[in-house]
Amino acid sequence: MNKLFLNISGMHCQSCQKLLESTLADLPGVSSAKIDYPEGKGQVEGKIKLDEQKIIAAIKQAGR
């Protein structure tokens, strides 16, 4: 299992957390995404090598 750990800023509430978890879980290769809103951290897991740039782009897009 491949893991990617992220620092995420700009979340305002738990709805942001749920949106990011759902958005990231839908990306190809991602098997799970856990976002910790109070801590501003995230963990994404996949069975293949994760494309960090695509994950970051998805986070930015979801935050618009």
Answering whether pTM is above 0.75, one says yes
Q: Look up residue 33 and give its two tokens.
A: 């995404």
- 3 Cα distance to chain centroid: 11
Separation of alpha carbons 64 and 47, rounded Å: 28
Query: pLDDT of 10-59, one tens digit each?
Result: 999 999 999 999 999 999 999 999 999 999 999 999 989 999 999 999 99
Residue 63 has pLDDT above 90, yes or no: no
Which pLDDT does position 26 carry in this prediction?
94
